[in-house]
Amino acid sequence: MKSTIYPRLASDSMKKNHRLYVPFLLASSGMVLIFYILSYLSHSPLIRSLRGGSDLASIMNFGSLVLALFSGIFLFYTHSFLLRRRKTEFGLYNILGMDKRSLAHILVWETLIITGVSLLLGGLGGILLAKLAEASLLRLVKSDISFTLKVDLPALLSSGAVFAVIFGLILLQSLLQISRTNPIDLLHSQAVGEKPPRSNWILAVTGLLFLGAAYYLALSIKDPIAALAWFFIAVILVIAATYLLFIAGSVTACRQLQKHKAFYYQKQHFVALSSMTYRMKRNGAGLASIAILCTMVLVMLSSTVCLYAGTEDILCTRYPREVIVSASLSQAQSANDTYWTDLTSQLLTASDQLALTPENQLDYQYVYGSGEISGDQLSLKKANDTTVPTDSLISVIILPVEDYNQISGADLKLESGQAMIYTNRLTYTAAELQINQAVTLQLTQRLDSADTLKDIRVITEASGYSPELVLVVPDYASLIRQLQQSLTGTEPADLYLGRIMAFDVAGSDSAVAEKQLLSEWQPQLDSLVSQSGGRLSSLTAEAVATERNYYYSTNSGMLFIAVLLALVFVLATVLIMYYKQMSEGYEDQSRFAIMQKVGMTPQDIRQSINAQILTVFLLPLLTAGLHLAFAFPMLQKLLLLFGLSNRRLFVSVTLLSFAVFAVFYALIYRITSRAYYHIVSARPQT
Amino acid sequence: MNVLEVRSLKKIYSTRLGGNQVQALRQVAFSVEAGEYVAVMGESGSGKTTLLNILAGLDQPTSGQVLLEGQDLGQIREKDLATFRRDHLGFVFQDFNLLDTFTIEDNIYLPLVLAGKSYEVMHSRLQPLAQQLAISPILSKYPYEVSGGQKQRAAVARALITGPRLILADEPTGALDSHATDELLALFSQINQQGQTILMVTHSVKAASRAGRVLFIKDGVIFHQLYRGLSDDEQFYQKITDSLTLLTTGEGRR
Ligand SMILES: Nc1ncnc2c1ncn2[C@@H]1O[C@H](COP(=O)(O)OP(=O)(O)O)[C@@H](O)[C@H]1O
Ligand SMILES: [Mg+2]
């Protein structure tokens, strides 16, 4: 045979099977496109020039790795579907005298065409859209840099390389499959007498148990970081359970219903239930994949959208004022000690020079430590003390009463030995608290209502998700000294003594001035520490204006990646769904022709199809919703780690994501089911 | 009254591109009386399946009329056609047309379930039928687990269970070995003797020779018919082959 015949045969048969190949090509081009964009962004000099830009770049880099891995798995999976439908054709070629070597040639050409088209379309699209992506990323970051279009060769090359490898592997697998089967099998590979699906109680029950265990873990893990291993086990259990339940559980349930004669032998149930059983057997894996992809999309979108939308919130909790000077002290300072006020007024002269007006000034000192409560005993520990399991550790914060009054504007009076207590994520009811068996405090006042919370929020809520216990005490300096002495044997660094001076700058557009102030201060800070005579161990100044960029660039980077990955996952969902509909269409075509002959009206058929399609449509979506609901507490804890504690925001963002996704999903389903109806309603050839 | 009456039926298939036209049925007219067993015989491509599909209302004739129990099929609305078909006709096909997602039993129940009958009714109707067709042992099996002969008997059971006025069979022995063919033909004779009207299309002389009357179809025209009269199966077989030779050689001479 002449060698030009292979590319012809390959392209002809791809044209003939365009209903199968066009979606595949579009999906693979889409993946190339997104991969190109990600790798473009990961070394875009514009992005790198931002504050937090290198973090952003590495987020993009990580995203492109995940994408490459996912694309590989996904393209493999869908290509095997293509191959299955093509085997009959290959069997025919083989019987007509084309040897396997020639078939291999055709496959090679086919792969070359697929690779070429995907890279070309994806690359071109990527080049065009990369700038748009960069622009929207910069917008998200709230940067106002302008830019021009350009082609990024390294990104292009790496996209080419990654996808060439993926398609190479796919080709290898196809060749292996073709070489292993004989022609008769090839010819009949679509029509093997399929065994009826059987109930599999063991797998179904295992699936249920896994799901229960995973949900239990999700609800009971207190600290996802400390319990990272369990966290991953929960994720794996959920995935395994989803597959088991979709593949075995669904069939078992259908079988069980079929045993119910009065239910089964009804016009509406009879055909639907029996084909459902087969459908689930064949497509259980596909549906489970869709459910898992949907869950991933939802988790990624809701958490990153929330993080992005909550950035101001996070900044607000982390940085209660626009400019913050924080010091680490070696000794607690008593109320009449003027060292700190002198120091801060010295710093504030700089702001006078810049004509800045400080307002909402805040000045307080505090002690931060971690400890463990048993009964009315609080023992302060080293934070990284390995003998204490992390999830029983609480954060302890102690404030002087004068500073508390000044922050909150309250007029709290406490006698020596008394204290006011405020707790967050833990309950403490005893009337007394003994700390390290050295200090005993009478808890005469309690702060627990939400409206007073914001007074003290300034100080707390920054420490993540661990429970907090806040004490407001008189005689602060001497009490702290006592506590420090009780910690003999361990290093005094276990208690962090901090002092904060913070203020807002008048005027809404003060970001530039604040940055200027910081650069004025920067050289002074170190010398102030060295001149402090050991009173200060560090002194730092921060301005929200500079931190804001940083926060926005990481949070928007994550949002951006999530959106792109969600796009890819949605693409994958579309394709899996499309192929599922196609294969079901072909299978149902002859079946419905028979049913019509034995007296099923077209309405009956349509009704039965709709019932099945709706079930198959809703199952993955509902599963994803359920997974999301159970993952919610865990996700919330993870978001706390990022400093986001706005529960209402998270709930509404999650619900919104679900709603938007459901609409989108319904749209996909409508479009793909058109392919199905198209096939089913075509007259089978006789 | 005639169970079936076919009046000057014509069917032209035009290919999708509109180019070629195939005249599958030119001029077909005949009638079938209640209790008759009629075979329509012709070679492959002579228009048998086309005829049967039109009789079943699965396909529309280009012109002509089909009256089933005096009812003009062309007058029945599309959406009532399926119900009409289910209640009045039974089908047996060459390739069985059993659904692989159902057990043999459920396949047989299918038309009754569609008609909204309860399980008890269906079950009690099936028992005598299964006995007669010798399929009781395979009722719980799936189509892929049983032989061709058994599948075809199950298909016959499915056709009979609604108590149809007319059984339409399209090459019912076409996919069967000779033993299963003999069994099935015996079965058809038996149910015909019980009063069931049967119209069978076939290209096999053997199958046709079991009928009470044979219509010969060629190129979409019924050009001859033979009555069994008093002859037994072998004699009728002989008569059919004789006619066939006569007709073909006669044609050759022309
Ligand atoms: N759907 C169709 N479209 C076009 N031509 C058809 C179609 N079905 C059958 N024919 C043609 O009509 C003629 C009769 O076919 P058919 O009724 O199947 O014959 P038989 O069943 O006797 O073998 C044949 O020439 C066949 O090619
Ligand atoms: Mg035929």
CB contact (8 A) between residue A591 and residue B109: no
- How many angstroms separate the CA atoms of A400 and A414, rounded? 10
The predicted structure's pLDDT at residue A2: 55
Kindly write down the DSSP assignment for every residue of A152-183, as one continuous string: -HHHHHHHHHHHHHHHHHHHHHHHHHHHHS-H
- How many angstroms separate the CA atoms of A74 and A62, rounded? 18
CB contact (8 A) between residue B111 and residue A599: yes
Q: Are B27 and B220 in contact (CB under 8 A)?
A: yes
Per-residue pLDDT, averaged over A601-620, amounts to 79
A592 lies within 8 A of chain B by CB: no
Q: Which of A18-27, A451-460, B57-66 has the lowest mean pLDDT?
A: A451-460
Distance from CA of B249 to the nearest CA of A (A): 32
Q: Provide residues with CB under 6 Å of ligand 1.
A: B 13, 22, 24, 42, 44-50
What b/e readout covers A491-526, taking b as 16+ CB neighbours within 10 angstroms?
A: eeebbebbbbbbbbbeeeebbebbebbbeebeeebe
Q: Nearest-CA neighbor of B97 among A597, A214, A268?
A: A597
Does A378 or A598 have the greater pLDDT score? Answer: A378
- How many angstroms separate the CA atoms of B229 and A388, rounded? 104
Query: Which of B53, B100, B144 to mutate to test binding with chain A, by most A CBs within 10 Å of its CB?
Result: B100
Residues on chain A touching B114 (C-beta within 8 angstroms): 267, 270, 598-600, 604
The predicted structure's pLDDT at residue A144: 60
The residue whose CA has the least distance to atom 1 of ligand 1 is B13
Nearest CA in chain A to B159: A598
Q: Are A620 and A290 in contact (CB under 8 A)?
A: yes
CB contact (8 A) between residue A265 and residue B109: yes
A686 lies within 8 A of chain B by CB: yes
The predicted structure's pLDDT at residue A685: 41
Kindly write down the DSSP assignment for every residue of A237-289, as one continuous string: HHHHHHHHIIIIIHHHHHHHHHH-HHHHSSHHHHHHHHHHHHHHHHHHHHHHH
Location of structure tokens 């910690």: A487
* Cα atoms in the 13 Å half-sphere on the side-chain side of B68: 24
- How many angstroms separate the CA atoms of A165 and B178, rounded? 57
Per-residue pLDDT, averaged over A116-139, amounts to 85
- How many angstroms separate the CA atoms of B247 and B244, rounded? 5
Q: Is the pLDDT of residue A241 over 90?
A: yes
Full pLDDT tens readout for chain B, 254 residues: 789 999 999 999 887 666 678 889 998 999 999 999 999 999 888 999 999 989 988 888 999 999 998 889 888 887 788 888 888 889 898 888 888 888 999 999 998 988 888 999 999 999 999 999 999 999 999 988 899 899 999 999 999 999 999 999 999 998 889 999 999 999 999 999 999 999 999 999 999 999 999 999 988 899 889 998 888 989 999 999 998 888 777 554 44
End-to-end C-alpha distance for chain A, whole angstroms:
34
E strand or H helix at A400: strand A394-400
Q: Which amino acid, residue A511?
A: A
The predicted structure's pLDDT at residue A165: 93
- How many angstroms separate the CA atoms of A193 and A189, rounded? 10
Write out the two tokens for A360.
């909402």
- How many angstroms separate the CA atoms of A311 and A307, rounded? 6
Q: Using alpha carbons only, give the angle A607, A610, A612 rounded to the nearest 5 degrees.
A: 110
Which one of the ligands is nearest to B175 CA? 2
Per-residue pLDDT, averaged over A339-357, amounts to 78
Nearest CA in chain A to B161: A598
Of B49, B168, B216, which is best to mutate to test ligand 1, by the most ligand atoms within 8 angstroms of its C-beta?
B49
Report chain A's mean pLDDT, rounded to a whole number: 81
Write out the two tokens for A201.
């109680």
Q: Is the pLDDT of residue A581 over 70?
A: yes
Cα–Cα distance list, A114 to A65, A83, A122, A582, A624 (Å): 22, 13, 12, 20, 32
Count of beta carbons in the 10 Å neighbourhood of residue B90:
27
Q: Are A194 and B100 in contact (CB under 8 A)?
A: yes
Q: Nearest-CA neighbor of B181 among B142, B161, B208, B141?
A: B208
Interface predicted TM-score (ipTM) over 0.90: no
- How many angstroms separate the CA atoms of A517 and A543, rounded? 9
All structural domains of chain A with their residue ranges = 1-192, 194-323+546-686, 331-534
Based on C-alpha coordinates, what's the Rg of chain B?
18
A586 lies within 8 A of chain B by CB: no
Distance from CA of A615 to the nearest CA of B (A): 18
Ligand 2 geometric centre to CA of B170 (Å): 7
Of A594, A604, A686, the CB nearest to B114: A604
Residue numbers of A between 137 and 196 with CB closer than 8 Å to B: 193-196
E-state strands within A506-587: 536-543
Distance from CA of B145 to the nearest CA of A (A): 9
Per-residue pLDDT, averaged over A437-451, amounts to 76
CB contact (8 A) between residue A599 and residue B158: no
CB contact (8 A) between residue B101 and residue A277: yes
Q: Is the pLDDT of residue A385 over 70?
A: no
Of B81, B101, B144, the CB nearest to A278: B101
CB contact (8 A) between residue A598 and residue B106: no
The residue whose CA has the least distance to atom 3 of ligand 1 is B13
